[in-house]
Structure 1
Amino acid sequence: MFPGATADRADAAYVVVGAPLDVSTTFQPGTRFGPDRVRRFAESFEDYDHHTDRHFSELDVHDEGNLHAWTDAAEYVEFLAGTLGDVVDVGAVPILLGGEHTVTVAGVRAVSPDLFVCLDAHLDLRTAFDGDDWSHATVTHHALETADHAVIVGARAGSEAEWARTREDDVTVVSPEAVADRGVDVVRDAMRAACDPAAATTYLSVDVDAADPAVAPGTGTMEPGGLSAREMRDIVRTVAPVADGVDVVEVNDRDDGQAATLAGALVRDFVFAHAAGP
Structure 2
Amino acid sequence: MHYIIHSWRNLQECPAICFPFAPGWCNVDFMNTNFLNIEGAYAASDSAAYTIIPVPYDATSSWNKGADKGPAALIRASEQVEYYDIETNSLPYVRGIHTTSPALDFSTPQAMAESVERETAMAFARGSLPIVLGGEHSVSIGAIRAAST
Does the TM-score normalized on the shorter chain lie above 0.5?
yes
Question: Aligned-pair distance for 1:69?
Answer: 4.8
Which residue does the alignment assign to 1:20? 56
Task: Give 2:88's aligned residue.
Answer: 52
CA deviations 1:106-161 (Å, max 9, x no partner) are 11011107xxxxxxxxxxxxxxxxxxxxxxxxxxxxxxxxxxxxxxxxxxxxxxxx
- Deviation, 1:88, is 0.9
Equivalent residue, structure 1, for 2:98: 62
Partner in structure 2 of residue 95 of structure 1: 131
CA shift at 1:26, angstroms? 2.1
Q: Greater strand percent: which structure?
A: 1
Secondary structure at the aligned position of 2:59 is classed as: coil
Aligned to 1:81: 117
Match of 1:109 in 2: 145
Quick one: which amino acid aligns to residue 67 of structure 1?
A
Q: Contact 2:51–2:131 (CA<8 Å) still a contact in 1?
A: yes
Question: Cα gap change, 1:4/1:52 in structure 2, threshold over 3 Å: closer, same or farther?
Answer: farther
Please report the RMSD computed on the Cα atoms of aligned residues, expressed in angstroms.
Answer: 1.7
Q: Which residue number corresponds to residue 2 of structure 1?
A: 35
The CA deviation at 1:63 is 1.0
CA distance in 1, matches of 2:140, 2:103: 14
Distance 2:77 2:133 in 1: 13
Distance 2:66 2:43 in 1: 29
Return the offset for 1:92: 1.2
CA spacing shift, 1:49–1:4, aligned 2, 3 Å: farther
Post-superposition offset of 1:9: 0.7
* Other structure's SS at 2:101 match: strand
Per-residue deviation at 1:80? 1.8
Q: Could you state the TM-score of these two structures normalised by the residue count of structure 1?
A: 0.38
SS at match of 1:54: coil
Q: Which structure 1 residue ranges, 5 or more long, are not aligned?
A: 114-278
SS of equivalent to 2:79: helix
Does the residue aligned with 1:49 lie in a helix, a strand or coil? coil
1:99 Cα deviation from its structure 2 partner? 3.6
| 1:238-277 map, 5 Å | none
Partner of 1:157: none
Number of residue equivalences: 113
Q: Percent identity?
A: 27
Cα offset for 1:4?
5.1
* Partner SS state of residue 48, structure 1: coil
Structure 2 gap segments, 5+ residues each: 1-33
- Kindly provide the amino acid, as one letter, of the partner of residue 118 in structure 2: G
Distance 2:81 2:65 in 1: 27
Deviation beyond 6 Å, 4+ runs, structure 1? none
The AA in structure 1 aligned to 2:122 is D
Q: Taking structure 2 as the reference length, what is the TM-score of the superposition? A: 0.69
Tell me the amino acid that sits aligned with residue 29 of structure 1: K
- Can you list the C-alpha shifts for 1:10-62, whole angstroms capped at 9, x where unaligned? 11111111111101112111111111111111221111110001113212111
Q: Could you tell me whether the CA contact under 8 Å between 1:16 and 1:95 is conserved in 2?
A: yes
CA contact (8 A) 2:104 2:116 kept: no
The aligned amino acid for 2:36 is P
